[in-house]
DNA sequence: CGAAACAATGAAAAGGTTTGCAGAATGGCG
DNA sequence: CGCCATTCTGCAAACCTTTTCATTGTTTCG
């Protein structure tokens, strides 16, 4: 049998309450007693029963994390960040994998609710309404997705895409294609939108942008997109993510084309493998672990506020605003590597202009 | 406030006990009552408080999983398998990341013990003694490491390495190098041992095996090993894992050598990226998710047995043997791809023999 | 018809902890 | 010297559920 607080109390000759206080709120107990009790507890190897504690405090000391696919290194990174920060704050983490299935997502989240203080939904595939419903049942924060009124941690997808486009334009590209991700993906919507509005808000009259359509966000999707990119006459193709970009690179090579000479290629994510291939992939680095850490911070803010709200009614307004439905956007970095370069059509940059003029 | 069993009891006009039974052990309650109570509970959205339940039953319905690095896709896969199987069995999973630090490993495991029914240690970096100590405190199973007396799920590392060697020998290689992983790695010990004994138990008098030493199990480790491999005069190099193999491939290309013409290269793990590079990597596929699933099965066996042991003393002997300290070895598959081929030294295979004869 | 077995339900204890409240002890100050 | 304030400690309730035991009512069989 495990050693309980009762055993420690008997052994050290004080009451249960004193033991509890000596360990949980040391300032309330005389120094001599405190030291004695703490020593006894340590000697006996006492560890409070978390269930009993949770039962009375109403807090479990753990949080839930729901991700679509643990096998995907992207979520592995986020998960690592979440785990590290939670542990530092004395919380443990339940992890659930939805296998990319939107329907099991909310079901899993609901099954977690009862045993956690709050939930982080990372890249959820379910609907806005469903997420909002969940919000009424538990403290919840969104990672890699934005929803008004729900604390959300997102990457600056638009900024990342703009950085990519500027880079390509600076190199001389005037005909650029976008190989999109899944239609239902929130990240893809962000990136595709930034791609589309780019021509409008910039003053590049001669810039031609081609949307190649939606592809599976894997290597195979890129393979598929590569041929369309070549046929489009683009000199550069922006992949939805690194995997797609790698697929494009591979298919190009297979067709005897080389990057960046015949086609510049970019990705998104900066997964480790993007430096393992030749040419190294120019891509946008996303601070994934930081997203995990910030999600935990936001969630713990929420949890803390909730628990205070019931006892302490005087809360500064701006503090409430600061975290209730707040949006935090993480800056991203363009990593310029080998897969992008000056377009080398016949005659170089001038020829590209000609090509455009000819309406090809 | 959440709805408790008391509310349901009052609402449906029965006692607390009846509600509890109607939901947990329906066969003990009259059909009419059962239906009525279940309906009322469902209507009120009643969910049992897991803490209260755990407090009295002593079981938490969750298990702990400790891994060295969540960002490593290898552990992501195992984790996914664990998560899936646990969920199917009605268990939830705590995940902890030790950041490859052996000292925090047991500390983390201990902090989990109090809130889980059992623990899975995946690729633990700590000592045998420490693991054994943990065994006395909680049901525990080992994934990707073997320890006598502790249920262990491992890959057939030796078999995998033998398959690789046979493949290389069949291609005509007679001088093969091994680029090892970390000295402290259990997997590496297995593979290195298999590599060393290979020459002895096989009858390949002319076979020369070169141990290049230990390298970090990452891309950079492979880069480092590549030059040594070239200098050793080997025609094939076996990497500790895929990342090392990829590093070797990259460094070879950088030096103007090509695989498999100038050097055959193999890996271990079959991570997704091994098919993203050219040449595709010949490697050993490890059923990682299955390792996760089997770990859960083994752990749940253990948990179930423990809880029965206290009540029911009559247990068949062989059943106890079957899972108490049992070792389960998962078969692995050689995936032959593009990075291995016939050695093409000057004059082909014959020349290799000459080379060996010359003592080079 | 009576007794015994059985099915269904309720009362109550138990599980380990936190915490409000009250009592005791100590010290300071008038 | 006496009173009050302060500090420390203990008692007991509360958290929500499961489970044992007892009770009631019903059925079956001798």
Residues B265, B271, B277, B279, Cα dihedral to 10°? 30
Location of structure tokens 């390509």: A168
Q: How much is the pLDDT for A309? A: 58
Q: Which of B48, B70, B115 sits opposite A79 (nearest CB)?
A: B70
Q: How much is the pLDDT for A1? A: 65
- What's the rounded mean pLDDT across residues B167-183? 93
Distance B38 CA to D22 C1' (A): 26
Distance from C-alpha of A196 to C-alpha of A189, rounded to nearest angstrom: 10
Q: What angle do CA A202, A204, A210 make, to 5 degrees?
A: 95
Q: Determine the distance from the C-alpha atom of residue A338 to the mean position of all C-alpha atoms in its chain, rounded to a whole number.
A: 26
Please check whether residue A193 is in contact with residue A158, taking contact to mean a CB–CB distance below 8 angstroms. yes
- Give the CATH class of B157-286+334-357: alpha beta
Q: How much is the pLDDT for B206? A: 75
Q: How much is the pLDDT for A356? A: 40
Say yes or no: B244 contacts chain A, CB-CB below 8 A.
no
Nearest CA to CA, how far is A90 from chain B (Å)?
Answer: 10
Closest residue in A to B3 (Cα–Cα): A114
Instruction: Give the number of other CB atoms < 10 A from CB of residue A31.
Output: 8
Distance from C-alpha of A270 to C-alpha of A251, rounded to nearest angstrom: 20
Asked if the Cβ–Cβ distance from B62 to A246 is below 8 Å, we say no
Q: Which residue has the higher pLDDT, B316 or A126?
A: A126
Q: How much is the pLDDT for A316? A: 47
Q: How much is the pLDDT for B353? A: 39
DSSP string over B62-103: EEEEEES-TTSHHHHHHHHHHHHHHHHTT-EEEEEE-TT-HH
Q: How much is the pLDDT for B207? A: 83
**Chain mean pLDDT for chain B:** 87
Taking 60 as the threshold, does the pLDDT of residue B161 lie above it?
yes
Q: How much is the pLDDT for A352? A: 41
Q: Are the folds of A5-48 and A61-138+288-330 the same?
A: no
Q: Delimit the domains of chain B by residue range.
A: 5-48, 60-138+288-329, 157-286+334-357
Size of chain B, expressed as the number of residues it contains: 360
Q: How much is the pLDDT for A69? A: 92
Percentage with pLDDT > 90 across chain A: 66
Q: How much is the pLDDT for B309? A: 59
**pLDDT tens figures, A53-94:** 999 998 899 999 999 999 988 999 999 999 999 999 989 999
Would you place residue A199 in the very low, low, confident or very high pLDDT band (cuts 50, 70, 90)? Answer: low
Lookup: nucleotide whose C1' is closest to B54 CA: D17
**pLDDT tens figures, A201-254:** 655 567 889 999 999 999 999 999 999 999 999 999 999 999 999 999 999 999
Taking 70 as the threshold, does the pLDDT of residue B129 lie above it?
yes
Pick the CATH number of A61-138+288-330 from 3.40.50.1370, 3.40.50.2300, 3.40.50.12280, 3.20.20.80: 3.40.50.2300
Taking 90 as the threshold, does the pLDDT of residue A265 lie above it?
yes
Taking 60 as the threshold, does the pLDDT of residue B68 lie above it?
yes
Would you place residue A305 in the very low, low, confident or very high pLDDT band (cuts 50, 70, 90)? Answer: confident
Asked if the Cβ–Cβ distance from B273 to A278 is below 8 Å, we say no
Q: List bases in chain C with any atom under 7 Å of a protein Cβ.
A: 7-12, 14-20
Contact list, A112 vs chain B (CB under 8 Å): 92
- Give the CATH class of B60-138+288-329: alpha beta
Q: List bases in chain D with any atom under 7 Å of a protein Cβ.
A: 7-12, 14-20
Structure tokens at A33: 């007693």
DSSP string over A314-342: ---HHHHHHHHS-EEEE--EEE--SS---
Q: What angle do CA B345, B347, B351 make, to 5 degrees?
A: 70
Closest residue in B to A277 (Cα–Cα): B277
Q: How much is the pLDDT for A349? A: 42
What fold characterizes domain B5-48? 434 Repressor (Amino-terminal Domain) (1.10.260)
Q: Which residue has the higher pLDDT, B15 or A359?
A: B15
Judged on CB neighbours under 10 Å (0-12, 13-18, 19+), B159 is middle
């Amino acid at each position: 049998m495990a050693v309980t607080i009762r055993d420690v109390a008997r052994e050290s000759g004080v009451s249960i309450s004193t033991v509890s206080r000596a360990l949980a709120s040391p300032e309330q107990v005389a120094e001599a007693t405190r030291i004695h009790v703490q020593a006894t507890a340590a000697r006996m190897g006492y560890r409070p029963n978390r269930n009993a504690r949770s039962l009375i405090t109403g807090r479990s000391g753990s949080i839930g994390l729901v991700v679509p696919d643990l096998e995907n290194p992207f979520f592995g990174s986020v998960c690592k960040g979440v785990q590290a920060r939670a542990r530092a704050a004395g919380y443990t983490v339940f992890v659930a994998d939805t296998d990319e299935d939107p329907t099991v997502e909310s079901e899993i989240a609901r099954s977690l609710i009862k045993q956690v203080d709050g939930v982080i939904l990372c890249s959820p595939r379910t609907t806005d309404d469903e997420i909002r419903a969940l919000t009424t049942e538990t403290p919840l924060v969104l990672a890699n997705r934005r929803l008004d009124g729900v604390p959300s941690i997102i990457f600056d997808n638009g900024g990342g895409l703009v950085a990519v486009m500027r880079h390509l334009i600076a190199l001389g590209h005037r005909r650029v294609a976008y190989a999109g991700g899944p239609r239902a993906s929130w990240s893809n919507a962000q990136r595709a939108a930034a791609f589309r509005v780019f021509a409008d808000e910039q003053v590049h009259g001669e810039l031609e942008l081609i949307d190649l359509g939606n592809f599976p966000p894997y290597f195979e999707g890129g393979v598929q997109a590569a041929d369309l990119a070549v046929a489009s006459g683009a000199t550069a193709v922006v992949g939805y993510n690194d995997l797609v970009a790698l697929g494009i690179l591979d298919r190009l090579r297979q067709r005897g084309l080389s990057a960046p000479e015949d086609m510049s290629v970019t990705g998104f994510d900066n997964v480790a493998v993007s430096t393992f291939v030749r040419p190294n992939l120019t891509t946008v680095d996303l601070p994934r672990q930081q997203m995990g850490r910030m999600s935990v911070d936001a969630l713990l803010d929420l949890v803390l506020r909730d628990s205070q709200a019931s006892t302490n009614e005087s809360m500064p307004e701006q503090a409430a605003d600061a975290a209730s439905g707040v949006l935090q956007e993480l800056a991203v970095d363009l990593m310029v590597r080998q897969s992008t370069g000056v377009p080398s059509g016949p005659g170089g940059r001038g020829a590209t202009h000609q090509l455009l003029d000819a309406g090809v």
